[in-house]
Structure 1
Amino acid sequence: MTFISRFAIRTSATLQMLLPRVDSAKFSNTANSKNENKSEVVLDRGPFSSQLDYQSRIKFNSPALGYPLSGIICTIGPASNNEKVMLKLIEAGMRVVRLNFSHGSYEEHYAAIQAAREAIMAYTRKIGVYKPVAIALDTKGPEIRTGQLSGSETAEVDIKQGDQIKLSTQKDMETKGSKDSIYVDYKQLPKIVKKGNLIFIDDGQISLRVKEMTDSEVTCEIVNGGKLGSRKGVNLPGIPVDLPSVSEKDKKDLLFGVENDVDMIFASFIRNAEAIKDIREVLGPNGKHIKIISKIENQQGMHNIDDIINASDGIMVARGDLGIEILTEEVVLAQKAIIAKCNKVGKPVICATQMLDSMQGRPRPTRAEASDVANAIFDGADCVMLSGETAKGKYPMECVKCMAKICAKVENVLWYDRLQNEVRSYMKSSSPDNISAIAAGISEIASTGEASAIVIASPCPIVPNLISQFRPRCPIVFLTGERRVARQSNIYRGIYPIVPEIMSHGCEDFKSILAIGLQNMAKMKIVDLSKPTTLMIVNALQAERIIFRLMFTK
């Protein structure tokens, strides 16, 4: 493999001819205010002698980037399940649509997929260029649930602290639950629990302590009571379970995803690497292109985290169920460890659950929630996710805008030199290859030359994904002819995919592709090309001959 680099920053007449005419007034107010504020507050890029030195020199009023480099994932539900709202979510910064298959019918999910695609095409018509937005199917996963209470699906019973309740695995109890006895759909329960074990029900709202077991029942003392409804989730923290990797419902849901051409699977309750193989088998040859993002939600998943990362296309830190399975004070440590492990090997990682939860009913987040989003970016997350905030909240668009602002603010003050040096050092000590070396060089030169964007044309995502691992401080504009590849790139930090139609039709002329790419960049408002701009241009159309050049345009 050979690669050619030209390091000099220069004015390129050729590139200048390719640049579209752009009215700078069309660019967002955020971008304009960013440029205005630069004269008032100058970013401190270092060098820094230590983490303490770096943090002490962060300016709280430093300008934000005009765009977030981190991806934003939005869960679709009653508050957003229509084309009009989804169009606004895309305009606000949504890059991935999440469909939660723990709820809803196939008819509802099909309608959501169609509405999402209509919204994508509406936005495409609005800006004049195809906008890649991914669609993700989030499985219900193998889980343990209680049965139905006597009376109806909506019935509730009040269970009180200090009382006793029996958990029965007998099928004849499935619809006969009461305050004294409820059905649990895990036959092995009496065999795996021990006296003194804690059992949580309904996302930890109700907690029980095991007192005794028989062949088909577990008698528990109620530690924390409350209102108990039908078919609630059951968690067994610290207790290994042998549930199937893929439930019968999951199999049907996965095949639905294949039929409807979803881009990725968010696989729930992954406990080991074998589960990913089982999911791949269900997806079959027609679904081999679908990316599998493993959700880490229990202690078994944490114990096997390295194997799961290696087998997966990405990881989600699903802090909801994880926060029940492990101690509350341990969740933040697990988050940091998982994100760092993914950063080391270049796998995209998503931070999820209750990030802006109070915004379901309020137009502004709490300060703690704003800090939570910011710290996920400081930790190194590629994406952050909204759940109930956009699925059933009153302010879905405001949530996305708020999250985008927080991400952009933090991303502009990160200690990029340290981030890149740490990744580079790790790669040298592990298994370096030519492609990784090229990606490292591109990222470093782009940062040193203060490039406004890295523009890379490539038929496959390997090079842009590797560049993303080195965390450049500018967007990575990925020009590809494959719409699916473009959509799936949205879960990598910093990648803004563009699909020049001439690439879709087989064109391999880099100059022509670049010309279209630059025009589309302007339409998507990624970079203001009406002003003097430094760009890192990368021709990766041929893997054996990658050419990159840092160029300055007038």
Structure 2
Amino acid sequence: MVSIEATAAFLKELETVSYYAKDEKQAVLSKATYLEHLSSLNITEPPHAVRKTAIICTIGPKCNTVETLACMIRNGMNVARLNFSHGDHSYHAMTIKNIREAAKVVKHENIVAIALDTKGPEIRTGMIMNSSTAEVELVKGKSIRLTTDPSFENTGNAVNLYVDYKNITNVLAPGKIIYIDDGLISLVVDEVGSDFVICTIENGGMLGSKKGVNLPGTSVDLPPVSEKDIADLLFGVEQGVDMIFASFIRNGSAVCKIREILGEKGKNIKIISKIENQEGVLNADEIIKASDGIMVARGDLGIEIPAEKVFLAQKLLIAKCNEAGKPVICATQMLESMISKPRPTRAETSDVANAVLDGADCVMLSGETAKGSYPIETIKIMHYICKEAEAAVYHSKFFEEILKRVKKPTSHVETIGVAAVSAAKSSLASAIVLCTTTGNTAAMISKFKPSVPIIAVTKNPQTARQLWLYRGVFPIYYSESEKLPDWTKDVDLRIREGINFGKEKGFIDTGDNIVVVTGWTSGAGKTNTLRLIIAD
């Protein structure tokens, strides 16, 4: 067993000890400053042997067959995202079945998580001229009347346009901006009436039916979940999904409402709150506290706040999650051009890399895989970018800064996390291998972003799938059904399974130091023992 005091010597050694990433096949001196670290980067060095940042892929018509899904898993997909803004329950049930079938044909990588992304509460326009395909041109400089009068719901035109948010007249004021259709059309409010808002068209264009409406900088009182969301969440519980990506979360109470809906049967489902408006950013602390993780949803966020502010929100939210030890996903338009092209732009590759350098645990593909022409190629490109970026992360400084923010006295799991990362660096270990029931120990070690992989062996299949949310964690589902009477022997077999996985992946060799984290007895919450062993 270890204590926080026992790690003090390790921390002192960090200032002088050289450490290396095993897969780079050479020692790399830990630089004293971030500037020194950056100036020592070498573009000719090979990347890490394994990728630590998880890849989330949105599943759509272009990639929902068993064969394509299996190929996506082999090439790096860790979490399959189902977008419930599209498709009915029968379609999503079929897709879930296909994902699970595809996972069966792949070995260690068959631990694939399934995420349900809710449509969320939203504001939309009505129909244009009683047709789902009709369009009307909104001309710059002209006036248009937005109304909540239901008599206009299906008869929208360039003069009168229905919106389905009844309280819009109470939250808007002259001078406010309204965006329609992902910001392609913008209006400026001139006058607010009892059931209408008169606007000047600032940026015009062709407008179709049922388009999304954004009110940037305006606090709205939409319900945290819609009736559709409730039905979808209950469907997800029945289907056994691993995580919920909850759309348009504005405050912590919205997360609590979703937990209430998931109920006892869905209590172990992770809730990842999507922050995609100014209110969500301003309430980030309470949302992070109430959630299991956060998604920086840059699509709507880039409409709700000025585009030039999105990178600030990204860095802010990732930093807050890193400090809290909550996983964070960076999403939207990461490799957007690959929807139709086989290679990304230089700006896109830098965007993905910088998300990794910022501290994102996962990166997400949306239309690139859901409807793109090159889903497999896109995953491969993202895989390679992440590996290169991870090799440039300044692990020592990150560890020191996170450690300074840890409140004393530490919990036993946090103490173990600090000690494991310190021991790995000081001993030049090739990996940290642990046994876990709930995944809490693996998550805590991941918080300190060690430079070596964290191999988490668990007998709980859902825990294994959910651990993809954490940077550097490689979950292994230990499916051995026979429970050995000797608990110590059983633990040793699980640790052996983890070491063998590391050998297969090429980052553990015979003779390497390995940090092992286990409990002193069986059961959840018992992890308190750290050992340093040599791989044989």
**TM-score of the superposed pair, with normalisation by structure 1:** 0.89
Label 1:208 to 1:385 Cα distance change in 2 as closer, same or farther (>3 A): same
Among 79, 98, 118, the residue aligned to 2:81 = 98
In structure 2, relative to structure 1, the CA distance for the partners of 1:364 and 1:431 (3 Å cut) is farther
Which residues in structure 2 correspond to 1:32-71 (within 5 Å)? 38=25, 42=26, 44-48=28-32, 50-71=33-54
Q: Deviations over 1:373-419 (max 9, x none)?
A: 11111110010000000100011111111111111111122111111
Q: Which residue of 1 aligns with 2:18?
A: none
Give the distance between the partners of 1:365 and 1:144, measured in 2 at CA. 33
Q: Does 1:553 align with 2:535?
A: yes
* Contact 1:87–1:119 (CA under 8 A) maintained in structure 2: yes
Q: Secondary structure at the match of 1:537?
A: strand
Give the alignment of 1:285-304 within 5 angstroms. Answer: 285-304=264-283
Which residue of 76, 80, 83 corresponds with 2:66? 83
Note the 1:89-238 alignment, pairs <5 A.
89-123=72-106, 127=107, 131-238=110-217
Asked if 1:496 is matched to 2:474, the reply is yes
Q: What amino acid maps onto 1:308 in structure 2? A: I
Residues in 2 aligned to 1:3 and 1:507: alpha-carbon distance in whole angstroms: 30
Output one character per residue of 1:207-237: Cα deviation in whole Å (capped at 9) or x when no partner: 0011112111111111111111111110000
1:342 aligns with 2:326: no
Q: In structure 2, how many angstroms separate the alpha carbons of the residues matched to 1:198 and 1:66?
A: 49
Which aligned pairs between 1:419-430 and structure 2 lie closer than 5 A? 419-428=398-407
Give the counterpart letter for 2:312 in structure 1: L
The answer to whether 1:410 aligns with 2:389 is yes
- 2:499 and 2:507 map into 1 onto residues whose CA distance is 8
Distance 1:470 1:520, change over 3 A: closer
- Aligned 1:265-276 pairs, distance under 5 A: 265-276=244-255
Letter in 1 for 2:30: G
**Whole-Å separation in 1 of the counterparts to 2:285 and 2:7:** 38
Given candidates 402, 409, 417, the residue that maps to 1:439 is 417
**Preserved CA contact (<8 Å) 1:44 1:58:** no
Match of 1:401 in 2: 380
- Percent pairwise identity: 47
Rounded to whole Å, the distance in 2 between the matches of 1:416 and 1:45 is 12
> 1:62: Cα distance to partner?
2.2
Q: Deviations over 1:164-192 (max 9, x none)?
A: 11111011111111122111000111221
Q: How many residues align?
A: 518
Report the counterpart of residue 283 of structure 1 in structure 2: 262
How far off its partner does 1:529 sit? 5.0
- What does residue 385 of structure 1 align with? 364
Provide the secondary structure at the position in 2 that maps to 1:47.
coil
Q: Distance in 2 between matches of 1:515 and 1:363?
A: 44
1:427 match: secondary structure: coil
Query: Does residue 1:471 correspond to 2:453, yes or no?
Result: no
Q: Find the counterpart in structure 1 of residue 432 from structure 2.
A: 454
**Residue 248 (structure 1) aligned to one of 224, 227, 249:** 227
How large is the Cα RMSD of the aligned pairs?
Answer: 2.2
Q: 1:203 to 1:532 in 2, by over 3 A?
A: same
> Whole-Å Cα distance in 1 between the matches of residues 500 and 340 of structure 2?
36
Q: Any idea what SS the aligned residue of 1:178 has?
A: coil
Whether the aligned pair in 2 keeps the contact of 1:359 and 1:393 (CA below 8 Å) is: yes
- Residue 15 of structure 2 is matched in structure 1 by none
Shift of 1:460: 2.3
The 8 Å contact of residues 235 and 324 in structure 1, kept in 2 or not, is answered as yes
Question: Take 2:328 and 2:97, find their aligned partners in 1: how far apart are those partners?
Answer: 27
- 2:413–2:527 Cα contact (<8 Å) kept: no
Q: Distance in 1 between matches of 2:437 and 2:323?
A: 25
Report if the CA contact (8 A) 1:351-1:381 is conserved: yes
* SS class of match (1:237): coil
Kindly state the Cα deviation for residue 130 of structure 1 after the two structures are TM-superposed.
Answer: 7.2
Mean CA deviation greater in 341-350 or 505-514? 505-514
Give 2:16's aligned residue. Answer: none
Amino acid at match of 2:160: S
The Cα of 1:117 is off from its aligned counterpart by: 0.5
Change (3 A) 1:371 1:6: closer
Alignment of 1:309-348 (within 5 A): 309-348=288-327
Instruction: Note closer, same or farther for the CA distance 1:298–1:541 as it changes in structure 2 (3 Å cut).
Output: farther
Where 1:393 maps in the other structure, the secondary structure is: coil
Q: Whole-Å Cα distance in 2 between the matches of residues 381 and 93 of structure 1?
A: 17
C-alpha distance in 1 between matches for 2:139 and 2:109: 56
Is the contact between residue 498 and residue 517 of structure 1 (CA under 8 Å) also seen in structure 2?
Answer: no
Tell me the distance in 2 between the aligned counterparts of 1:431 and 1:350: 30
Flag the 1:446–1:425 CA change in 2: closer, same or farther, 3 A. same
The more displaced of 319-328 and 522-531 is 522-531
State the structure with bigger RCO (CA 8 A, min sep 6), 1 or 2: 1
Q: Structure 2: give runs of 5+ residues left out of the alignment.
A: 9-21
User: 2:241 and 2:462 mapped to 1: Cα distance?
Assistant: 9
Please report how far the alpha carbon of residue 503 of structure 1 lies from its aligned counterpart in structure 2 after TM superposition: 6.8
For 2:148 and 2:186, the matched residues in 1 are separated by: 18
CA distance in 2, matches of 1:277, 1:388: 30
Q: Does 1:358 align with 2:337?
A: yes
Q: Identify if the C-alpha distance between structure 1 residues 471 and 161 changes in structure 2 by more than 3 Å, giving closer, same or farther.
A: same
**SS, match of residue 287 in structure 1:** coil
Deviations 1:19-68 (A, max 9, x none): xxxxxxxxxxxxxxx96x74xxx5643222x2222211211222211211
Counterpart amino acid of residue 77 in structure 1: G
Aligned residue for 1:31? none
SS for the counterpart of 1:286 is coil
Q: 1:277 to 1:6 in 2, by over 3 A?
A: closer
Distance 1:519 1:6 in 2: 28
One-letter amino acid of the counterpart of residue 134, structure 2? A
TM normalised by structure 2 equals 0.92
Q: CA deviation at 1:523?
A: 5.6
